[in-house]
Amino acid sequence: MSLAVYSHPDMLGHDAGHAHPEQPARLTAVVDALRDGAPGLDWREAPLAAREDLARVHPDRYVEALLQAAPREGRVQLDPDTALSPGSLPAALRAAGAVIEAVRATGRGEHAVSFCAVRPPGHHAEPERAMGFCLFSSVAAAVRVAQAEGIAQRVAVVDFDVHHGNGTQAVFESDPDVLFLSIHQAPLYPGTGDPSETGVGNVVNATAPPNAPRELWRRLFETRLMPELDAFAPELILVSAGFDAHARDPLAQQQLEGEDFAWATRAILDVARARAGGRVVSSLEGGYDLQALGRSALAHVQALREG
């Protein structure tokens, strides 16, 4: 089976503002890189997430508040970094819907591995708070769908975005059936994710200082995250695939190149084959240098396809 990729042009309609780093060109860069560099992918249309699926993570009052706040023109600022434009909610609903549908299709046996080329990102969105460019916690909602529908009970989330996935951690830190693993720069926004944050023994945070060498990042990933992932023996692995730890990224100070993301992807797939029947659903999070983002996403998807 070819690698499934979920996306939708509606996600280009989210406009966070002039010169905002989370811009429509990000998705264009990823889609163009994949279409040019990885022919033969199984492109699939991302559906709109259903409110009942979002409600597995976000109270209905939060979803309704976003729907009511959505402007017909201009923008509504939710926090200094996060805004709603007329196209924002369709984009965010498609982003969440992509990950949810990818999980469901995995459960139906249509594919073992998939990638969701989506925006806006989701891993900073807390159950009742939009923040950090994020509106809905897409990966978290997909995990809850997997559990509710019997696709997988024990689920792991590996987050290698350079910023800590505080929203994902907030959803799962009391659930022993979900393992949350994050490697991120510290100090850096949002200021969470200290290694002392362990949930109920199901949260592992590995931190790299600014300007850390690539070798340190790889060592932390290999020695702190992967043994925990293997020991947890998940039935399904989701990946929050942020590419903003790249050396070119303007919002952080890490030194990774595309080959490092491919290396990390192969490590995740090794565990997936041994523990999870090879089942991996990956979803785009951050990455704000367009050239680096396209190249890194392509390296990630090529490694996924090898699996």
pLDDT digits (tens, 9 = 90+) for 152-204: 999 999 999 999 999 999 999 999 999 999 999 999 999 999 999 999 999 99
User: pLDDT band at 1, cuts 50/70/90?
Assistant: low
Given the DSSP bridges, would you call strands 76-79 and 4-7 parallel, antiparallel or unpaired? unpaired
End-to-end CA distance of the chain: 11
Q: Is the pLDDT of residue 245 over 80?
A: yes
DSSP state letters, 33-55 = HHHHHSTT-EEEEPPPPPHHHHT
Helix (H) or strand (E) holding 273: helix 258-275
Note the Cα 26 to chain centre separation in Å: 14
Q: Is the peptide bond before 120 cis (omega within 30 degrees of 0)?
A: yes
Helix (H) or strand (E) holding 166: helix 166-172
With pLDDT > 90 as the criterion, what percentage of the chain qualifies? 99
Distance, in Å, from the CA atom of 28 to the CA atom of 116, rounded to the nearest integer, reads: 13
Beta carbons within 10 angstroms of residue 214's beta carbon: 17
pLDDT digit string, tens, across residues 128-139: 999 999 999 999
Helix, strand, coil shares of the chain, percent, nearest 5, are 40, 20, 40
pLDDT digit string, tens, across residues 43-88: 999 999 999 999 999 999 999 999 999 999 999 999 999 999 999 9
Q: pTM for this one? A: 0.98
Question: Which residues form the catalytic set?
Answer: 124
Residue closest to 236 by CA, chosen among 148, 120, 133: 148
Cα distances (Å, whole numbers) of residue 40 to 2, 183, 260:
7, 31, 24
Which domains does the chain show, CATH number per domain? 4-306 (3.40.800.20)
